[in-house]
Amino acid sequence: MKVLVLYEYPPTPGGLATQGDLLYKGLLELGVDVHAAHFESDQEKEWYYRWFKPDVVVGIGYWGYTPHLILNPQKFDALAVPWLVSDGYIANYQDILNKLPLILVTSNWVKEMYVRDGINGDKIEVLPVGCDTDSFKPFSKNDPKIIAVREALGIMPDELMILTVGGDAASKGGQEVMQALAIIDKKITNWKYVCKVWPQKRTSIQNVSDEELAERLGIEKKIIYAVNTISRNFMPYLIGACDIYAAPSRLEGFGMPQVEAGACGKPVLSIKAMGMLDTLIHGNTAFFS
C-alpha cells in the first residue's frame, strides 16, 4: 500500500504536526511505502498524486482543513482518509464528511462531538495519537540535562516544579491550577508553577490575563512563564524536569502532553472529561480534578 500523509511538514513542535509526524515515522518503521507533504502545499501534493499515485491520503487536522485534506486529494481521484481532532462545533462540510468511507479521530470524545454535529458515526474509527517512548521516558533527577532545565528556569533542587505545556496556559487549565495552588500555598509553600507557552499574539494577550490573576491570588512570584520556541528534542527533558504535570484542559481531543508526562513517569493532574478519558486512569496513571 502507498500512503501520502498530509500535515505540517517539515514538522514544528505543535500538536498536530507531531501527531502527523509520529504517524509518518510509524508507517516507515512498518515498511509501508509512505511519503509526507505539507497539507497546504498544493503543488507538492499534486506532484505526489501524479508520480507516486498513493492508495490512501491521510490528512491530519480538524474539520476546517477539509479543502486541504479531503477536497484536494479528491480532485485528483485519490482516496482521502482524514485523521481529525475536534475544535468546538462542526460548522461546515457535513455533507462532504458524510460521503467519506472512513474518518479517523483521536479519541472517543472527538467521535461523540462529530456524531453530535451530524456526522455518521458508523464511518468514524478512533485512532489514538502515538508517543515516542524512546524519547519520553523516566530520567534521573541527577541527569545533567534535567538539572540544566531546572537551573535555567530558576528552580531550586528542593522546590516542587509543576508544569503545564500548551499554545497558551489558560486553554490547558492554567488558571484553574493557579487558583488551586493559591488555596494550598499556606500548607505547601516550596513550589514553582511553570507555564510553557508558544510565542504568538494570542498567547501574549492571554498571558497578561493570566499574570493579572496570579497577582490577585498573591502567587505571582511563584509563577514562571516560559515563552520560547523549542524543538521536540527539548520536550522530554522539560517534562522530565517537573515533579507534577498539571493540565485540566478546557478543550482536549486527546491530551498528548499528558501521555508524554506519563511516559516520563510523572504524576498527571487532569480533568475527568474529553479525550483524557481514553488515556488516563484515575488513581493509576493520573488524578482527575
Count of alpha carbons within 13 angstroms of residue 16, beta-carbon side: 22
CB neighbours of 262 closer than 8 A, spacing ≥ 6? 268, 279, 280, 285, 286
Q: What is the pLDDT of residue 110?
A: 95
Burial 248-276 (b: 16+ CB within 10 A, else e): bbeebbbbbbbbbbbbbebebbbbeebbb
Q: Does domain 144-288 have CATH number 3.40.50.2000?
A: yes
Widest CA span in the chain = 66
pLDDT of residue 157: 94
- The radius of gyration of the chain from alpha carbons, rounded to an integer in Å, stands at 20
Whole-number pLDDT of residue 232 = 87
- Order of strands, sheet of 56-61, starting from the edge strand that comes earlier in the sequence: 33-38, 2-7, 56-61, 80-84, 103-105, 124-126
Domain spans in the chain, listed from the N-terminal domain onward: 2-126, 144-288
Confidence (pLDDT) at 229: 83
Say how far apart CA 34 and CA 45 lie, in whole Å.
Answer: 13
Question: CATH assignment of 2-126?
Answer: 3.40.50.11930
Q: pLDDT at position 54, please? A: 98
The predicted pLDDT at position 286 comes to: 79
Distance CA 27, CA 166 (A): 27
Which residues of the chain have a pLDDT value below 50?
Answer: none
What pLDDT does residue 74 have? Answer: 98
Q: Per-residue pLDDT tens for 59-113?
A: 999 999 999 999 999 999 999 999 999 877 888 999 999 999 999 999 999 999 9
- Using DSSP bridges, classify how beta strands 2-7 and 33-38 pair: parallel, antiparallel or unpaired: parallel
Q: How far apart are CA 254 and CA 66, in angstroms?
A: 20
Answer whether 0.85 is exceeded by the pTM: yes
Dist. CA 3–CA 24, nearest whole Å: 9
2-126 and 144-288: identical CATH topology: yes
